[in-house]
Copies of this chain bind each other. A is one copy, B any other.
Amino acid sequence: MQKDKQTAISEIGEFGLIERLNPKKENKQASTIKGVGDDAAVLEFGNKYILVTTDMLAEGTHFNLVYTPLQHLGYKSMIVNLSDIYAMNGRPTQVTVSLAISAKFSVEHLEELYKGIHLACEKHGVDLVGGDTTSSLTGLTISITCLGEVEKNKITYRNGANPTDLVCVSGNLGGAYVGLQVLEREHKLFSENENFSPKLDGYEYILKRQLKPEARKDTIELLDNLSIVPTSMMDISDGLSSEMFHICTQSKTGADIYQEKVPIDMETAETARELNIDPLTCALNGGEDYELLFTIPIRDHEKIMDQQGITIIGHITELKNGLNLVTQDERKIALQAQGWDPLKGS
């Protein structure tokens, strides 16, 4: 490896790195509609668009096997990918699963992991069509690639939001982050005293949000039933602020998000306060909720307003307005993308 003029990856960050490693190039294949830069790549084979997305999860960075059951880990590894396909308004169809495994894993361990993978396949109607399993000197790395399909007139990118569009979010936010804080607190106490027994009662919902999240197939089906095609969409893996920032940047717009509208579950809020964290901060900057953030034309307001599990949290504005959080006393605070960065570790 070369020794001169080295730049630490943390200096340029995840997006800086993506730009350095993927210089703008003309695509060589006519079938490549969109490459790097959205939730999934978009390819044209036949009448529909084919979507491709991939995610890698590394032990110690994305999960800790001390408190992550292998079956849940398999399930979550799938969800992370399926969620990216839904975020294009698509339907996942096939996955490949690759593992690098250290000597500490037995066949039974892998069967547990695959139970979760197969369960997610069943639930989302996806076929497992390939993969690769190899030995690693340390730890477990899981790499999953998911294919999906979407009608050409329904594909939803990050860059289509327009001023006056409503900003909507599925479910609620911050739970996965607060769940992780509880797991880490209990793990720390256990490390300090082996006789300590972790107290996880009363945290069931947020622990499930962290350990066994779901991808919002139901939201995509709902939008389809309501005949709504979002103007932009992303899944919330790095936190609401970060994802809103992406939508606004790519759509060349601003947005106002209303503090009081940001959906936070009661267990999330109570536990956050118990841990001395601001629940709103968890909702804005906590990652891994895998909810869908999308914008719809204001003409669809009536269709969406009474739908259970969908919250209108703000609206898209002109670019010059910037991206703001509007507080309950109507002050505007600039929102900053402070998402969870896996390149800095968890």
Interface residues of A (CB under 8 A from B): 1-2, 5-9, 11-12, 14, 17-18, 20-22, 25, 27-29, 31-32, 34-36, 40-41, 43, 45-48, 50, 52-62, 65, 70, 93-94, 96, 98-101, 105-112, 114, 118, 121, 125-139, 141, 143, 145, 147, 149, 342-345
Closest CB in chain B relative to A211 CB, distance in Å: 14
Closest CB in chain B relative to A5 CB, distance in Å: 7
B9, B21, B134: which contacts A61 (Cβ < 8 A)? B134
- A105 surroundings in chain B (CB, below 8 A): 1, 9
Closest CB in chain B relative to A16 CB, distance in Å: 8
Q: Is chain A's interface secondary structure helix, strand, loop, or mixed overall?
A: mixed
- Once the chains bind, are A54 and B128 in contact (CB under 8 Å)? no
- A99 surroundings in chain B (CB, below 8 A): 56
- Once the chains bind, are B14 and A127 in contact (CB under 8 Å)? no
- A134 surroundings in chain B (CB, below 8 A): 56-58, 61-62, 342-343
Closest CB in chain B relative to A88 CB, distance in Å: 12
Known contacts A32-B127, A47-B46, A147-B52: A5-B135 contact under CB 8 Å: no
B2, B9, B12: which contacts A101 (Cβ < 8 A)? B9
Instruction: Determine the distance from Cα of A16 to Cα of B345 in the docked complex, in whole angstroms.
Output: 35
- Once the chains bind, are A141 and B100 in contact (CB under 8 Å)? yes
Instruction: Determine the distance from Cα of A145 to Cα of B129 in the docked complex, in whole angstroms.
Output: 12
- Once the chains bind, are A133 and B14 in contact (CB under 8 Å)? yes
B54, B98, B101, B127: which contacts A55 (Cβ < 8 A)? B98
Closest CB in chain B relative to A323 CB, distance in Å: 25
Instruction: Determine the distance from Cα of A70 to Cα of B5 in the docked complex, in whole angstroms.
Output: 16
Interface centre among A22, A36, A114, A134, by most chain B C-beta atoms within 10 angstroms, is: A134
Instruction: Determine the distance from Cα of A112 to Cα of B5 in the docked complex, in whole angstroms.
Output: 13
Closest CB in chain B relative to A100 CB, distance in Å: 5
- A11 surroundings in chain B (CB, below 8 A): 107
- Once the chains bind, are A106 and B147 in contact (CB under 8 Å)? no
Instruction: Determine the distance from Cα of A344 to Cα of B47 in the docked complex, in whole angstroms.
Output: 44
Instruction: Determine the distance from Cα of A5 to Cα of B108 in the docked complex, in whole angstroms.
Output: 8
